[in-house]
């Protein structure tokens, strides 16, 4: 939303700082004097192009420019703004005859900016090519996907992209109204980040959402993605869901987010991300399997170094993306059902073996049995 009052006040203050009359500012920016008057009377909202010319004429710092852009109701699309500022600065230095190329780039970027603002999230990527879903039959997988599909429909998404393991049949499920489904095959199996990367051709250059269906959200929790999409619309940056840590084991079994600035209740900027930290990291929140991602994640995934298991981690790519774009975190507070990774259960068994305590071993066996049962009867 534009704040015309603030815009008018800022423009006037900057103009007066430079001791310019309205006519002088108008001439510098290539607009009419009456347009400047209208702006200062809160009666007009400038186009982005005109705003850029005014900013250039007013000789503003980057943060002053951002403030004006916001007051005029535009979202400074993170990766475009610095370049736009550069261009406006360079334009001021150049003689008319040498401006054409930069002006062309400028209008291309403005076009792209508009396109970014217009793009709504349509696709929901659901990876089920990991070795755990591969243990399940198409019927069982279909059951496991049901809450994820409902959550996607509630969020108003329209196209599901299932990432399947090679040779795996499409799970059997009833598709909620309004959803279409497409499948891609992840070959070879190089981790979650790689699974996301295989959807690039289908998703294209658009923001998209991801659900990891082994984090099951029911009841009120099913609105998680819908809320995250609203945040994406508002802040125009990737959004992660995070939740509190339950025990020390969480640190080594999940992605861990360090949060920065509080934007408002339960919404933060992300400071740093680490996938399953092995060192003694003892702070942060765990990443829940819900993401809204900007298309730049694909570029980040392409240059992400594989981890020690030769897997490309989405968390590592997001950490790279943090250098270019801000990422926000939505603290999920409803009930979360996490399908315990089988690896974790096996680790418990092995620890119990290590300690040579039969009662621990029995207890661990029992947990494993129950978890496997829960997984197959979902
Ligand atoms: C994945 C993510 C991890 C996240 C988790 C949530 O891990 O890599 O960051 O915390 O899902 O379930 P995975 O379950 O694939 O090991």
Confidence of residue 26 (pLDDT cuts 50, 70, 90): very high
Question: Using an 8 Å Cβ cutoff, are 299 and 318 in contact?
Answer: no
Residue 362: domain span: 342-376
With a pLDDT cut of 70, the percent of the chain lying above it is 92
Residues 178 and 228 grouped into a single domain: yes
* Neighbouring C-beta atoms of residue 175, cutoff 10 Å: 13
CA distance linking residue 20 with residue 273, whole number of Å: 48
Asked, for residue 258, whether it belongs to a domain, the answer is yes
CA-derived radius of gyration, the chain: 25
The string of DSSP letters for 306-337 reads P-TTS---HHHHHHHHTTTS-EEEEE--S--E
Percent of the chain, pLDDT > 90?
Answer: 53
> What is the maximum span of the chain, computed from C-alpha positions, in angstroms?
88
- Domain containing 66 — which CATH number? 1.10.260.40
Q: How many angstroms separate the CA atoms of 253 and 103, rounded?
A: 50
Partner residues linked to 235 by β-bridges: none
Averaged over 236-263, what is the pLDDT?
A: 92
> What is the band of 115 on the pLDDT scale with cuts at 50, 70, 90?
low
Confidence band for 263, pLDDT divided at 50, 70 and 90: very high
**pLDDT tens-place string over residues 273-291:** 999 998 777 899 999 999 9
Question: Any idea of the CA torsion for 24, 27, 29, 34, to the nearest 10 degrees?
Answer: 80
- The length of the chain in residues reads 378
**Centre of ligand 1 from the C-alpha of residue 98, in Å:** 51
Is position 179 within any domain? yes
For 340-364, what is each residue's pLDDT tens digit?
A: 666 666 777 777 777 777 777 787 7
Ligand 1 midpoint to CA 203 (Å): 21
Q: Residues 176, 143: one domain?
A: yes
- Higher-pLDDT residue of 88 and 14 is 14
Nearest Cα residue to 212 out of 146, 107, 289: 289
Report CA(254)–ligand 1 centroid distance (Å): 5
Paired tokens of 322 = 């943090």
Same domain membership, residue 318 and residue 220: yes
| 180-185 and 159-164 strand pairing | parallel
Q: Ligand 1 test: best mutation among 212, 241, 342, most atoms within 8 Å of CB?
A: 212
DSSP secondary structure letter of residue 291: E
Phi and psi based region of residue 314 (left: phi greater than 0; alpha: psi -120 to 50; beta: remaining): alpha
Nearest-CA residue for ligand 1 atom 9 is 255
- CA 284 – CA 298 distance, rounded (Å): 25
Distances (CA, A) of 377 to 10, 32, 133, 370: 62, 71, 13, 11
* Rounded CA separation 151/345 (Å): 28
Q: Token pair for residue 59?
A: 């000789």
More confident of the two residues 89 and 333: 333
State the average pLDDT over residues 11-27: 93
Residue 275 Cβ contacting ligand 1 at under 6 Å: yes
Residue 276 CA to ligand 1 center (angstroms) comes to 8
Count Cα neighbours of 59 within 13 Å in the Cβ-side half-sphere: 9
C-alpha to C-alpha distance for 327 and 20, rounded to whole angstroms = 39
* Mean per-residue pLDDT, 88-94: 78
In a domain, 77, yes or no: no
Distance CA(322)–CA(327), nearest Å, equals: 7
CB 203 within 8 A of CB 119: no
Q: Which range (120-129, 146-155, 277-286, 297-306) has the least confidence?
A: 277-286
Give mean pLDDT, residues 216-237: 92
Is residue 191 located within the same domain as residue 304?
Answer: yes
Which DSSP string do the residues of 93-117 spell out, in sequence order?
HS-GGG-HHHHHHHHHHHHHHHHHH
- Same domain? 296 vs 321: yes
Same domain, 256 and 176: yes
Least confident stretch, 116-125, 233-242, 260-269: 116-125
Per DSSP (E only), the strands in 186-253 are: 208-211, 215-216, 238-243
Is 78 part of a structural domain of the chain? Answer: no
Split into its structural domains, the chain has a count of: 4
- Mean pLDDT, the chain, rounded, equals 87
Name the residue with the closest Cα to ligand 1, atom 2. Answer: 255
Which residues pair with residue 152 across a beta bridge? none
27-84 confidence digits (pLDDT tens):
988 889 999 999 999 998 888 778 888 988 888 877 788 888 888 877 655 446 666 7
- pLDDT number for residue 205: 87
Q: Of the residues 133, 244, 289, which should be mutated to test ligand 1's pocket, given the most ligand atoms within 8 Å of the CB?
A: 289
322 and 192 fall within a common domain: yes
- The pLDDT assigned to 377 comes to 57
Does residue 215's CB lie within 6 angstroms of at least one atom of ligand 1? Answer: yes
Report the pLDDT value the prediction gives residue 344, as an integer from 0 to 100. Answer: 66
**Residue 268 predicted with pLDDT over 90:** yes
Q: Do both 236 and 323 map to the same domain?
A: yes
**What pTM did the predictor assign?**
0.67
Strands 255-264 and 285-293 come out as antiparallel
């Amino acid at each position: 939303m534009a704040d015309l009052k603030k815009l008018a006040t800022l423009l006037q203050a900057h103009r007066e700082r430079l001791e310019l009359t309205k006519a002088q500012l108008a001439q510098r920016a290539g607009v009419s004097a009456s347009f400047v008057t209208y702006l200062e009377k809160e009666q007009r909202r400038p186009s982005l192009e005109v705003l850029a010319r005014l900013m250039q004429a007013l000789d503003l710092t980057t943060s002053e420019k951002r403030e004006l852009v916001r007051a005029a109701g535009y979202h400074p699309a993170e990766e475009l703004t610095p370049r736009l500022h550069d261009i406006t600065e360079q334009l001021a230095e150049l003689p008319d005859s040498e401006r054409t190329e930069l002006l062309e780039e400028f209008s291309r970027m403005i076009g792209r900016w508009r396109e970014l603002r217009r793009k709504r999230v349509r696709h929901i990527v659901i990876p089920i090519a990991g070795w755990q879903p591969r243990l399940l039959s198409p019927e069982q997988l279909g059951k496991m996907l049901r809450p994820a599909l409902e959550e996607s429909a509630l969020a108003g998404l329209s196209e599901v992209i299932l990432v399947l393991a090679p040779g795996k049949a499409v799970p059997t499920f009833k598709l909620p109204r309004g959803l279409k489904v497409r499948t891609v095959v992840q070959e070879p199996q190089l981790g979650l980040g790689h699974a996301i990367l295989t959807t690039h051709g289908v998703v294209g250059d658009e923001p998209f959402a991801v659900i990891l269906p082994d984090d099951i959200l029911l009841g009120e929790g099913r609105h998680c993605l819908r809320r995250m999409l609203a945040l994406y619309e508002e802040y125009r940056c990737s959004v992660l869901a995070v939740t509190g840590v339950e025990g020390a084991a969480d640190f080594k079994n999940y992605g861990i987010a360090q949060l920065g600035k509080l934007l408002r209740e339960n919404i933060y900027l992300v400071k740093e991300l680490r996938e399953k930290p092995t060192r003694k990291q003892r702070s942060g929140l765990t990443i829940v399997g819900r993401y809204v991602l900007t298309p730049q994640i694909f570029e980040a995934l392409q240059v992400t170094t594989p981890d020690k298991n030769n897997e490309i981690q989405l968390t590592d790519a997001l950490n790279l993306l943090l250098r270019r774009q801000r990422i926000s975190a939505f603290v999920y507070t409803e009930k979360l059902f996490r399908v315990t990774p089988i690896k974790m259960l096996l680790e418990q068994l092995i620890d119990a073996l290590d300690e040579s305590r039969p009662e621990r071993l029995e207890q661990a066996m029992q947990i494993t049995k129950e978890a496997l049962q829960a997984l197959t009867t979902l």
